[in-house]
Structure 1
Amino acid sequence: MTDQPDVLWFEAVKRTHVGLVGGKNSSLGEMVQTLSGKGVRVPPGFATTASAYWRYVEANGLRQVISDHLDEMAAGKKSLAETGQAIRTAFLHGEWPEDTAATIFTSYKELGKRAGRSELDVAVRSSATAEDLPDASFAGQQETFLNIRGERALLDACRRCYASLFTDRAISYRQVKGFDHLQVALSIGVQQMVRSDIGGSGVMFSIDTETGFDKVVRIDAAWGLGENVVQGAVDPDAYQVFKPLLADESLLPIVEKTLGEKAIKMIYATGDEPTKNVPTSRAERAAFVLSDQEIVLLARWATTIEAHYGCPMDMEWAKDGDSGDIFIVQARPETVQSRREANTFKAYRVLEKGKILTTGLSIGGAITAGRVCLIEDVRDIDKFVDGSILVTGITDPDWVPIMKRAAAIITDHGGRTSHAAIVSRELGLTAVVGTGNATHVLHTDQEVTVSCAEGDQGFVYEGTAKFEVDELDLSSLPGTRTKVMLNLANPAAAFNWWQVPADGVGLARMEFVVTNQVRVHPMALVRYDSLKDEAAKAEIDAITVNYDDKTEYFIDTLSRGLARIAAVVHPKPVIIRMSDFKTNEYAGLVGGREFEPDEENPMIGFRGASRYYSPRYREGFALECRAIQRLRNEMGFKNVVVMIPFCRSVKEADKVLKVMVENGLRRGEDGLEVYVMCEIPSNVILADAFARRFDGFSIGSNDLTQLTLGVDRDSEELAGLFDEQDEAVEWMISSVIGAAHKAGAKIGLCGQAPSDHPEFARFLVGCGINSISVTPDSFFAVKRHVAEAEADEPGLKQA
């Protein structure tokens, strides 16, 4: 390597130069060369080469030093900590070869000249020649030094980068991965600092880090320099953007926007330490780091970088507080989700569980039970019991030696792109990060279950929960003429099902999103000023803190929640049922009691379509319509179909459709389809009239059975009479399917019965139903039942 130059400018480096300047720097050079012309901004800089590293090693006789200390460790004469300390000390006491030092300083002065500053502040980043490989990311193994200024400080930071090649965690990681310590060199990237100390920074992935869903970009953001996000020292803002709709610059397809606590930020400092952490202001904690336009800009860059590299990418970005410009400061291949087996689907289900002890962000998608081992300080890691569930405040690379011996990880702090999250994914561990209180509520030897199989939120349950795991080969699923779709309600868990080969979403329940994400009664937002419940008013103030217009909170939150469901199967249809709360359920929302009547039988009371044109709720329904408008027109999810529930009569249908038009939703306009639930006998009796007003029907078999047989489905006394396969119910279903086909309308069924009863699936296929929509855990069974039924009736045709 000694015939190579000591320094190369980024514009002279390509991604094929990993052996020369390491994975990080070769990627920076690649982007400067090829992506600058596509609008991706990368701070200018240069890289020292592997040759410069070996020259430093040879000039200070370090090869023998390294070899001797590693041999002593292998022989059991020295511990890992002693070995690492001795090698690092030797590096730090080394002297620079004069020509190498002169070349680095000359390049530094040239970088300052290009930036128009004499003593430029720079970021000094380590880039090992064995990092960012497909099966080994080496995330956080070597050091980065920020706000470095002047010749002496630069050379000292470079020396410390070299030493960081032999931190305890780096030595340990190379041993685990089978890399020869004396075959790995270190390059140093010297980049113009982005003034993110007075701006913001974070991490970005071009794939969902938990589920592997490849159609979203995930962005984490915090105030100040980016080290806090990477280390998990802050709970950052979290954004997700749907990639397929980014090509249309008129759209803002942001499907998640969660405000993080962002309690501290890293800024420039003076003296021996170039950076320090300070508390964020109340205003900073309450504000998003990025605007919607900046979120989408970063997401577009992520797709550009991913397309160029041909694989999912892990990137770091920084926003300059002076200029407002955003830069990509690192990009490397994502090494976990992109390597998973594409045709294998593993689904976890909690069957019985103890009380919730704490919650946080779920990492990994699995479930693990075991004993807690609480360790608050890295100096105590020798007390860790192998196979335990590690509980701690935060992790950094020093924790890796015990993380790889843990059954699961629970931390107080950190986001989805924190060190704990990244390493847990790479090690295949279940983790719940950012709980806020795990080290306070959990204790060593406590039996707990860590569940990351229930969506974005991870749960720590008391005791050992009962759960089951289904592992399915997706390539073995049969094809069917009858569409098999999913019932989805929880946006937080929607991405778990992206691999399921569904024909769309047959039922997305709006009320679930309102209950779990919006939480506030829409009329309490519309009539906020006249709200009498002061406690509810105070709670609404806290929930809507970032919204001057309270109703905008409802529209924004509802549309984003529904967007996550719409994204999973895009561009296949997603049928969203407008809210179908019963009055007692609506009253349970924040501020809801002032707007809901007391009813003896809410099941057949003021629910569904009757609410939408009523003075009691009409303004609330208008907010629902505006959320659908935003979802389709501003975010771009044209695959969304609207469905009206519990529509008792044709006259009621006309009233609802009129109100929808008044609120910007006209059937047929811009491809909008409107369906109606078939769950009341009148829907069957007047199916032809309903078909003239709607594009399709969805049979709600539970309510249709209840109202056909006059049986309360929740009555224990009448449980034996509730039967979706009763001949009267089947007559209803068969009749409405025939009427729908005759009228040229689509018709499907959403319910559990086809999964529980193969013969019911056979009955529906025999009637010629267009689609069957089931819960995700029932999908595979129903798909097979439908395929078997179709095989028995090969001549079956559908309208």
Structure 2
Amino acid sequence: METYIIPFANINMGKLLQVGGKNASLGEMFNNLRPLGIDVPDGFAITIACYQLFLAYNKLYEKLSELLATIDQQTLSNLPQVAKQCRALVENAVLPDVAKQEIIKAYEQLSGTNGNASVAVRSSANAEDSPTASFAGQHDSFLNISGKENLLAAVIKCYVSLFNDRAIKYRIDNGFDHMHVGISVGVQYMVRADKASAGVIFTIEPESGHRNIIYITGAWGLGENVVQGAVDPDEFLVFKPALTQHQQAIIGRKKGRLEQMMIYDESGASGRPVKNVDVPPEKQGRWILRDDEVLQLASWSYEIEKYYGVPMDIEWAKDGITAHIYIVQARPETIHSKKQKRQLYTYKLQKTGKMLCKGEAVGRKIISGRACIIHSLAEADKLEKGDILIADITNPDWNALLRKAVSIVTNRGGRTSHASIVARELGITAIVGTGNATQVISDGQIITVVNAEGDEGYVYEGNIPFEMVAIDLSKVPQTKTKPMLILADPARAFELSGYPAKGVGLLRMEFIINNRILIHPMALVQYDQLPDGPVKATITQMTAGYSNKADYFVSRLAEAIAQVAAAFYPDEVIIRMSDFKTNEYASLVGGTFYEPKEENPMIGFRGASRYYDSRYLPGFGLECRAVLQVRNEMGLTNVKVMIPFCRTLKEAAQVLQTMETFGLKRGENGLQVYVMVEIPSNVILADKFAQLFDGFSIGSNDLTQLTLGLDRDSEIVSHLFDENNEAVTILIKQAIAAAKKAGIKIGLCGQAPSDFPAFSRFLVEQGIDSISFTPDALIRGIENISAAELPAPVLNS
């Protein structure tokens, strides 16, 4: 006798044709991953055979087939009308008694002593959650369903969702026969995340596809708000190699704007089982998960990925009553897992304009077009092919509409929202979570969407010219001299890790401090001594959640460095300790309390001279603590340290000793310490500097200014600035020779090797080990290196 119910305990991937992809995956995890400690809520699947019985019992096969055959396959102009007729047929049909009885019996067994258990009722198609077609969001799910009649009604609603406009179009686009796609319904014990938090996990970095990252996102309340993009969620980045070594693996976090949370509607006043309410003020400033919970979810996700053998898209929920965390869904990630990156596209604005709004960037492109504000599907006809769609939020019903857009900009949502996922699937850009796009952008306005500058995307007024360069990665030459990157913004690290560079030759710490920390380190060290006033109030607000204000500096700096180190792991990442000038330090919050005024900061209190001076010593200690945390606690030992503007041998020894007092000892745990060669004294005494450091990096800008005796910030003498000047090249030649003699590595950071092929040839001929370029100059620089490494042509005599 046919059975229409299969408990999760009896389901695995072998039952996919009976229970669909989503339920098969849940059963597989329920049975095979729980022994690893991964909690999956119990439940049962109503089989596809039950759906087929439902169609046969109500004589719907022929009627539905005939209706669906009338859809205009080219224009889809009559799709809404046909879909509506199909849904009406299914809505008015009834479940056979035999199916009802089995469903009710299974529900009673699942409820146990709880009586009418609250369950999640989810659609699970037989073509769903495969590595090539996710069907994500095409069919409906229903939360907090309680009671037999409500459950039976929800089952029919799942069947109805098979004939949503979006689901029908998705089948047409992906070549599925409508009547060959059957739907199973999963009934799963409801996790009380309405009293805690829930969200989404990717076991891959969602923008770049970097495989060493687990990306966890979530919000207060039920996870539906995260999936729909109704909130800007909290985000966490976890580094897999550190996770497997049981080290501190959280390398990044971002606080969301959590203003709404979805909870059970206990009163029933909304007419729905769930409703959105304001997040209580005491929760708005808190992270939705503790660090140990983030790591628990990351470990589970890593095990799930290993089990399935592909990157995964996972949904999680925390029960606010029991405090247990559960995995409630898992499916293969379908965007990056099937991509093979053969071409690289770089984008660069040629000028800037008036910025209208900004948010989280999805996709790395620049695009211009006409803005079209859509408030609901009733306005769908407004959107023309090639428009930039502006909306408060999108949902799966908009999928057909979104295919017309070249970009999407929303007020709400994060990187796992519906708009973000669809944008990746369509290969277009999106900016989500702007907060005000529909208010500051005018309908019909020409705008430019810029997603080429890291995690943040910007919307500018007008059609701003930009440059796009396509690079065939298979044609980029391999060189003996290592091409490396000069990097300032950690937000671009995962994107840039796909470039053909062999690590980072210069990571500028001061840019991280200026853009991510914003506060002078001494103002954090001496927070309690600061006078009451606007500056202290600003610092108090910025460092909310940190009882020890110095920890704010250390944790934010450590996570920024770690993101770069993780992106390029195991290739080396050389972090240059802070090299602000006094005028630049003074511009930080609280900086005016600590920085002297200098006539020429370029050659004043900067670099190494600050590190052991009592006026900055505790601030340098925070820098050392951050590097120590990255290397020793996070396990990113590919990080090396570089000391800038070190004038004398005595100063070099003092800096190394100071670092050691802060726990950062050269040679310990493999730590290598480099020094910048940017002062003539570094070259003249190179053999002695080589005894104190593990490597040299030539800073061609400062070396040129100090060799030629000119201030490179001065426009009056800028025409004299020339790295090719013979005096400069003689010093560079001497520095490389000294490094070779001492057996230490030497590189160069600067623009000249990409701008001047002859300069690259000069460096290669001297035996330089590496040359570091800004991202926009990397390919040109590699080509210059390659040409320089070719043997000179033999002339016939």
TM-score (norm 1): 0.96
- Of stretches 309-318 and 773-782 in structure 1, the one that deviates more from structure 2 is 773-782
Quote the residue 2:168 is aligned against: 171
Quote the residue 1:797 is aligned against: none
Q: Are positions 1:212 and 2:209 aligned together?
A: yes
What CA distance in whole angstroms lies between the structure 2 residues aligned with 1:683 and 1:11?
Answer: 70
Provide, for residues 6-63 of structure 1, a one-character-per-residue CA deviation record: whole Å limited to 9, x for no partner. Answer: 1222232222433221111111112123222222221111111111101011111222
One-letter amino acid of the structure 2 residue matched with residue 510 of structure 1: M
Quote the residue 1:640 is aligned against: 639
* Partner secondary structure for residue 792 of structure 1: coil
Structure 1 residues 307-456: aligned runs within 5 Å = 307-456=306-455
Q: Are positions 1:17 and 2:4 aligned together?
A: no
Change (3 A) 1:4 1:716: farther
Question: By how many angstroms is 1:77 displaced?
Answer: 12
One-letter amino acid of the structure 1 residue matched with residue 171 of structure 2: R
Change (3 A) 1:574 1:78: closer
Q: Are positions 1:260 and 2:256 aligned together?
A: yes
Quote the residue 2:3 is aligned against: 5
Question: By how many angstroms is 1:73 displaced?
Answer: 4.3
Quote the residue 2:59 is aligned against: 61
Question: By how many angstroms is 1:64 displaced?
Answer: 2.8
What CA distance in whole angstroms lies between the structure 2 residues aligned with 1:43 and 1:139?
Answer: 20
Provide, for residues 444-463 of structure 1, a one-character-per-residue CA deviation record: whole Å limited to 9, x for no partner. Answer: 11111111111100111111
Provide, for residues 274-327 of structure 1, a one-character-per-residue CA deviation record: whole Å limited to 9, x for no partner. Answer: 111110011211000011111122112222111222211111111111222211
What CA distance in whole angstroms lies between the structure 1 residues aligned with 2:386 and 2:653?
Answer: 63
* Partner secondary structure for residue 130 of structure 1: coil
One-letter amino acid of the structure 2 residue matched with residue 158 of structure 1: V
Change (3 A) 1:432 1:108: same
What CA distance in whole angstroms lies between the structure 1 residues aligned with 2:128 and 2:648?
Answer: 66
What CA distance in whole angstroms lies between the structure 1 residues aligned with 2:440 and 2:340?
Answer: 37
Quote the residue 1:714 is aligned against: 713
- Of stretches 381-390 and 74-83 in structure 1, the one that deviates more from structure 2 is 74-83
What CA distance in whole angstroms lies between the structure 1 residues aligned with 2:304 and 2:133?
Answer: 20
Structure 1 residues 571-590: aligned runs within 5 Å = 571-590=570-589
Quote the residue 2:566 is aligned against: 567
What CA distance in whole angstroms lies between the structure 2 residues aligned with 1:345 and 1:78?
Answer: 37
What CA distance in whole angstroms lies between the structure 2 residues aligned with 1:267 and 1:663?
Answer: 48
State whether residues 252 and 292 of structure 1, in contact with CA within 8 Å, keep that contact through their aligned partners in structure 2: no
Q: Are positions 1:184 and 2:181 aligned together?
A: yes
Change (3 A) 1:709 1:310: same
What CA distance in whole angstroms lies between the structure 2 residues aligned with 1:74 and 1:376?
Answer: 27
State whether residues 72 and 79 of structure 2, in contact with CA within 8 Å, keep that contact through their aligned partners in structure 1: no
Question: By how many angstroms is 1:218 displaced?
Answer: 0.9
What CA distance in whole angstroms lies between the structure 2 residues aligned with 1:351 and 1:244?
Answer: 39
State whether residues 236 and 262 of structure 1, in contact with CA within 8 Å, keep that contact through their aligned partners in structure 2: yes
State whether residues 353 and 464 of structure 1, in contact with CA within 8 Å, keep that contact through their aligned partners in structure 2: no
One-letter amino acid of the structure 1 residue matched with residue 506 of structure 2: L
* Partner secondary structure for residue 9 of structure 2: helix
Question: By how many angstroms is 1:92 displaced?
Answer: 2.2
Quote the residue 2:68 is aligned against: 70
Quote the residue 1:625 is aligned against: 624
- Of stretches 696-705 and 133-142 in structure 1, the one that deviates more from structure 2 is 133-142
One-letter amino acid of the structure 2 residue matched with residue 652 of structure 1: E
Quote the residue 2:153 is aligned against: 156
Q: Are positions 1:763 and 2:762 aligned together?
A: yes
What is the aligned length? 790
Q: Equivalent of 1:240, from 229, 237, 257? A: 237
What CA distance in whole angstroms lies between the structure 1 residues aligned with 2:24 and 2:467?
Answer: 44
State whether residues 235 and 256 of structure 2, in contact with CA within 8 Å, keep that contact through their aligned partners in structure 1: yes
- Of stretches 170-179 and 489-498 in structure 1, the one that deviates more from structure 2 is 170-179
Question: By how many angstroms is 1:532 displaced?
Answer: 3.0
Question: By how many angstroms is 1:72 displaced?
Answer: 4.5
State whether residues 698 and 749 of structure 2, in contact with CA within 8 Å, keep that contact through their aligned partners in structure 1: yes
Structure 1 residues 286-325: aligned runs within 5 Å = 286-325=285-324
* Partner secondary structure for residue 171 of structure 2: helix
* Partner secondary structure for residue 600 of structure 1: coil
Question: By how many angstroms is 1:442 displaced?
Answer: 0.2
- Of stretches 714-723 and 213-222 in structure 1, the one that deviates more from structure 2 is 714-723
What CA distance in whole angstroms lies between the structure 1 residues aligned with 2:538 and 2:378?
Answer: 43
State whether residues 412 and 432 of structure 2, in contact with CA within 8 Å, keep that contact through their aligned partners in structure 1: yes
Question: By how many angstroms is 1:84 displaced?
Answer: 2.5
Q: Are positions 1:506 and 2:505 aligned together?
A: yes
Quote the residue 2:595 is aligned against: 596
Quote the residue 2:34 is aligned against: 36
Structure 1 residues 262-281: aligned runs within 5 Å = 262-270=258-266, 271=268, 272-281=271-280
Question: By how many angstroms is 1:793 displaced?
Answer: 7.0
What CA distance in whole angstroms lies between the structure 2 residues aligned with 1:91 and 1:524?
Answer: 66
Provide, for residues 685-714 of structure 1, a one-character-per-residue CA deviation record: whole Å limited to 9, x for no partner. Answer: 111111111111110000000100112223
What CA distance in whole angstroms lies between the structure 1 residues aligned with 2:177 and 2:516?
Answer: 50
Q: Equivalent of 2:44, from 34, 40, 46? A: 46
Provide, for residues 95-116 of structure 1, a one-character-per-residue CA deviation record: whole Å limited to 9, x for no partner. Answer: 1111111111121122223xx5
One-letter amino acid of the structure 1 residue matched with residue 306 of structure 2: A
What CA distance in whole angstroms lies between the structure 1 residues aligned with 2:88 and 2:240?
Answer: 47
What CA distance in whole angstroms lies between the structure 2 residues aligned with 1:293 and 1:345?
Answer: 37
What CA distance in whole angstroms lies between the structure 1 residues aligned with 2:263 and 2:662?
Answer: 48
What CA distance in whole angstroms lies between the structure 2 residues aligned with 1:709 and 1:77?
Answer: 70
Question: By how many angstroms is 1:4 displaced?
Answer: 5.5
What CA distance in whole angstroms lies between the structure 2 residues aligned with 1:384 and 1:552?
Answer: 49
Provide, for residues 613-662 of structure 1, a one-character-per-residue CA deviation record: whole Å limited to 9, x for no partner. Answer: 11111111111111111111111111111111001111111111111111
State whether residues 72 and 78 of structure 1, in contact with CA within 8 Å, keep that contact through their aligned partners in structure 2: no
Q: Are positions 1:125 and 2:122 aligned together?
A: yes
Question: By how many angstroms is 1:383 displaced?
Answer: 2.3
State whether residues 357 and 459 of structure 2, in contact with CA within 8 Å, keep that contact through their aligned partners in structure 1: yes
In the alignment, structure 2 segments of 5+ residues that lack a partner are none
In the alignment, structure 1 segments of 5+ residues that lack a partner are 795-799
Structure 1 residues 690-709: aligned runs within 5 Å = 690-709=689-708
Change (3 A) 1:742 1:456: same
What CA distance in whole angstroms lies between the structure 2 residues aligned with 1:707 and 1:685?
Answer: 13
What CA distance in whole angstroms lies between the structure 2 residues aligned with 1:193 and 1:602?
Answer: 62
Question: By how many angstroms is 1:553 displaced?
Answer: 0.5
Provide, for residues 215-245 of structure 1, a one-character-per-residue CA deviation record: whole Å limited to 9, x for no partner. Answer: 1111111011110000000110011111122
Question: By how many angstroms is 1:69 displaced?
Answer: 3.0
Identity %: 52
* Partner secondary structure for residue 166 of structure 1: coil
Quote the residue 1:752 is aligned against: 751
State whether residues 369 and 447 of structure 1, in contact with CA within 8 Å, keep that contact through their aligned partners in structure 2: yes
What CA distance in whole angstroms lies between the structure 1 residues aligned with 2:687 and 2:545?
Answer: 48
What CA distance in whole angstroms lies between the structure 1 residues aligned with 2:61 and 2:81?
Answer: 17
* Partner secondary structure for residue 114 of structure 2: coil
Structure 1 residues 489-504: aligned runs within 5 Å = 489-504=488-503
Question: By how many angstroms is 1:731 displaced?
Answer: 0.6
